[in-house]
Amino acid sequence: MDPLSEFTKLTRASESVAKQYLARNDNDLTDALNDFYQTEKSSSQRPSAPKFQSFSDLKKPANKPKAKPGFGSFSDLMKGGDNDDDNDEMNFFTGGEKSALAVEDPNKGNLIDQLMRKAREEAGKEDWRDKRPQKKHDQFTGVGHTLGSVEQEVQSEKIGSAVNSSDETPEKVTRKITFWKEGFSVDDGDLYRYDDPLNQEYIKQLNQGRAPLSLLNVKMFQDVDVQVEEKRGESFTPVKKKRVFGFSGQGQRLGSPVPGEPTKSAETISTKHSANEEAPASVREETEGDTTIQIRLATGERFVRKFNSDDPVQVLYDYVYTVADNSRDWSLALSFPMILLDDKINSSIKEAGLKNAVVVQRWK
């Protein structure tokens, strides 16, 4: 750059004034600048400008303090930070994907103490993230179906919503990180040991103010508040998880034992009681006999009765006739395999293989 342009750039003087000072100082830029500022100072027509000993001083950048790192290192976290004699403040941030918690210089005291103190201060402040406008969809959203046609061999199809569900902002969540003697844990999860390289990478990301999505179990752009708890003097104690037991309880059979037959009520079968105990006392009849037969009516009712094994099968029909609805024709059969008993009414219960059996009534 030529002296004229350099002079006008540094002094913001007009080109004619620059030419005058350069000509007066044999076109020497340094002498011309000193002459210009000396004249300006003596005339007091403009605010005084800094005087430079030489033009080289102008090009020397001012000594700036070395920038301190923006985050506390993990070694500071483990040692508490007492080996730095510099009292300048240093800030770092911890938090979630879209949140941060500023913590002052850990050298002033224990890093965890500083972090928790700052967390208490931040707790009393209003969260600006709660005031962000949420995306709203005024138009109707839903799922529709297109109607098919048999003549044109067109099948019905399901049409999804036109609005992408991913546009919705995930709900803000809270995570608690506890620092133990051997490592750290998130909420009530497992221990992340300090000597694991992967866990060290997690710590680096937290020191940089970034939230590892997999560690905190959050989605991209999801707000998360990170709470820090210091228990470095204690060993990790896993939280006792509730035992998950397998299914236990009662089953319920709906309707008639024969598929497609009309029913009146549901039948509850308990796995802890015998068939005799399950039958209602008002409908259970017991007589002398050496075998017990359970009779299930087409209406859903059930009866348990004792018979003699040498009695004919006809006695079962006679008994059902006294307790069942006879407005329709019916027959009796074994429940499994399904074998009709109409042609065995003259055989004995033992011969028909009905000892301790289950007999069902079927509508004809």
Q: Which among 304, 297, 303 has a CA at the least distance from the CA of 256?
A: 297
Q: Are residues 183 and 329 in the same domain?
A: no
Take residue 364 and report the two structure tokens written for it.
């004809």
CA 80 – CA 83 distance, rounded (Å): 9
* pLDDT exceeds cutoff 50 at 276: no
* Residue 331 falls inside a structural domain: yes
* Residue 134 falls inside a structural domain: no
Q: What is the pLDDT of residue 117?
A: 61
Pairing relation of β-strands 157-159 and 92-94?
unpaired
Name the percent of the chain lying above pLDDT 90. 5
* Residue 84 falls inside a structural domain: yes
Amino acid at 279: A
Averaged pLDDT, 193-203: 84
Amino acid at 136: K
Confidence band of 228 (pLDDT split at 50, 70, 90): confident
Q: Is the peptide bond before 106 cis (omega within 30 degrees of 0)?
A: no
Q: Are residues 102 and 215 in the same domain?
A: yes
Q: Are residues 82 and 226 in the same domain?
A: yes
Take residue 273 and report the two structure tokens written for it.
């009681």
Amino acid at 85: D
Find where tokens 């000597």 sit: 195
Q: Provide the residue range defining the domain that includes 33.
A: 3-59
CA 348 – CA 39 distance, rounded (Å): 139
273/127: higher pLDDT = 127
Q: Are residues 224 and 255 in the same domain?
A: no
Take residue 179 and report the two structure tokens written for it.
């620092």
Q: What is the pLDDT of residue 254?
A: 64
Q: What is the pLDDT of residue 130?
A: 55
CA 129 – CA 272 distance, rounded (Å): 56
Q: Residue 286: phi, psi to the nearest 5?
A: -120, 135
Q: Are residues 296 and 330 in the same domain?
A: yes
CA 188 – CA 208 distance, rounded (Å): 24
* Residue 136 falls inside a structural domain: no
Confidence band of 60 (pLDDT split at 50, 70, 90): very low
Q: Are residues 106 and 192 in the same domain?
A: yes
Q: Are residues 94 and 217 in the same domain?
A: yes
Take residue 339 and report the two structure tokens written for it.
């074998």
* pLDDT exceeds cutoff 80 at 25: yes
* Residue 187 falls inside a structural domain: yes
Pairing relation of β-strands 358-363 and 291-296?
parallel
Confidence band of 89 (pLDDT split at 50, 70, 90): very low
Q: What is the pLDDT of residue 182?
A: 87
SS3 265: coil
Q: CATH number for the domain including 78?
A: 3.30.420.210
Q: Are residues 175 and 305 in the same domain?
A: no
- The answer to whether 335 and 354 are in contact (CB under 8 A) is no
Q: Are residues 78 and 211 in the same domain?
A: yes
Q: Are residues 52 and 78 in the same domain?
A: no
Q: Is the pTM of this model over 0.75?
A: no
* Residue 113 falls inside a structural domain: yes
Q: What is the pLDDT of residue 233?
A: 87
Sign of CA dihedral 182, 183, 188, 189: negative
* Residue 162 falls inside a structural domain: no
Amino acid at 270: S
Q: What is the pLDDT of residue 131?
A: 53
Domain count within the chain: 3
Averaged pLDDT, 82-108: 44
Q: CATH number for the domain including 346?
A: 3.10.20.90
Lowest mean pLDDT among 12-26, 40-54, 224-238: 40-54
